[in-house]
Amino acid sequence: MHQAVNPHGFGSSEGSARGARTGGVRNGPAGRTLGRARPVPRPRGNATPRGGPLSSAQGDADEEFVDLARHLRPRDELNAARTASLLCLIAGGVTALTAVFVPPPDAVSVVLAFAVPGILFLLGWLLRGRRPPNALLVATPLVGVAALAVLDLVTHDASAGAQVFLCFPVMFAASQLQARTAVVTCAFAVLADVAIVLTIEPLGRGLVDLVFVCTTLAVMTWFLVAAGLRQDSLIAQLRRQAAIDPLTGLVTRRVLDDAARSALTADEAGTGTSLMVMDMDRFKVINDTFGHPVGDSALVHLANLLTHHVRPDSVISRMGGDEIAVLLPGCPYFAATERAEQIVQAVKDTPLPLPDGTTFPLSVSVGVAHVPLHANDLAQLYAVADSALYEAKRLGRGRVGTPPEAGYDAELAPLRSASEMVVVPRAPLTGDDSLGGGPA
């Protein structure tokens, strides 16, 4: 399977760029998977090598920890903090006004009536515009329910107004946290409300308020959680659409850029990263002669060929039009060049089937560049690979181009700094190049 992007890290390679991976990207009509790399657990301490009992137990523990962390993670940390801050300020303000206009019956109640708003104001101010730990955000609604229950019990207030305040922490959990946390918070609030009513009032007098408040809490949780899950599903769908080219099934330029940045910063083995940039020769002629549907079929045909001729950890991206890029993390320049030659030959050996049963020969031109041999950053890597592609076009197409000033043995040549790298301007094409619409 061929990896695409995970915005938090990209895929494994042969000794480098282990974090570079993405999940569930499909490559082309045949449904080949561009990503999901399976993480390889590393032995810790005195654990036995991979496959041993201790390693297996450690892997299970890691999976359980990851699952727990996922359920504790808010939908949006910053928005959750802002919402918690706003609710704390509102609850504190209402509690303070109530204490002023409805004086508590005893000294303890007076202290609590003014201490609680102060704590809420302080907490709301601290949470404003910050990213607190996820555990704190998860604990906030549970602590809020407990605090409200204690306040109502101490002040002997089981009125409907006091019970309604339980909606605040439940609403926060249902709108900002994961579904399981919201359900737990709602159940805790219902139990707290039952304890408040049964402790302070006779069951017959408080039953109606108890039923209405508990029903409100449950229904509010249900609707907010359902709306949140639907929103998460739509966002995930939009992200998949933004990451995948709908025609070829290859990943988009943005995915490739993220993968390349991750690979360039995760070169553990020091072998560097290679980039192929290719396009179909005279693609405009194919469109003009056979029509755009055949041109689309040619792109899908090329995408399918590439998935069979690159490494499993490679990232294949449609850059736009007929231009395709292949990122090879941890791949030396000479190996990438050999692979590019194989791709060029494979395209020549596999003509495009036409609707009338005949075939049409295809060819591609490929430019290859390498970090750190030819460039030190992503922008330079693209520029050098593009120059190499244009050189292949200039020399007659259907071949692998050499980066400018790279006419040396790539395996033995010393690595040069960016200041020593000179990108030669493109020379004008000659001959019948205009048939392909310029460098196409």
Asked if pLDDT for residue 72 goes beyond 50, the answer is yes
Angstrom distance (rounded) from CA 233 to CA 239 = 10
Instruction: Judge residue 286's burial from the number of C-beta atoms within 10 Å of its C-beta, 0-12 exposed, 13-18 middle, 19 or more buried.
Output: buried
Angstrom distance (rounded) from CA 107 to CA 109 = 5
253-436: CATH class = alpha beta
pLDDT one-digit tens code per residue, 210-254: 899 999 999 999 999 999 999 888 888 888 777 888 899 899 888
Closest among 358, 338, 334 to 346, alpha carbons compared: 338
Domain(s) of CATH 3.30.70.270: residues in the chain = 253-436
Asked if pLDDT for residue 48 goes beyond 80, the answer is no
pLDDT one-digit tens code per residue, 279-306: 999 899 999 999 999 999 999 999 999 9
pLDDT one-digit tens code per residue, 112-150: 777 878 888 888 887 776 777 888 888 889 988 988 888
Q: Could you give the percent of the chain with pLDDT greater than 90?
A: 35
Q: In what order do the strands lie in the sheet with 400-401?
A: 315-320, 323-329, 273-280, 364-371, 400-401
Residue 361, CB-side half-sphere exposure with 13 Å CA sphere: 6
- Please report the pLDDT score of residue 64 as a whole number: 54
Mean pLDDT calculated for residue range 414-438: 37
Residue 400 sits at φ, ψ, to 5 deg, of -100, 125
Helix boundaries (H) for 359-413: 378-394
The pLDDT-based confidence of 264 (bands split at 50, 70, 90) is confident
- Please report the pLDDT score of residue 298 as a whole number: 94
Can you name the residues that pair with 26 across neighbouring β-strands? 33
pLDDT one-digit tens code per residue, 5-34: 433 333 333 333 333 333 333 333 333 334
- Please report the pLDDT score of residue 191 as a whole number: 95
- Please report the pLDDT score of residue 405 as a whole number: 65
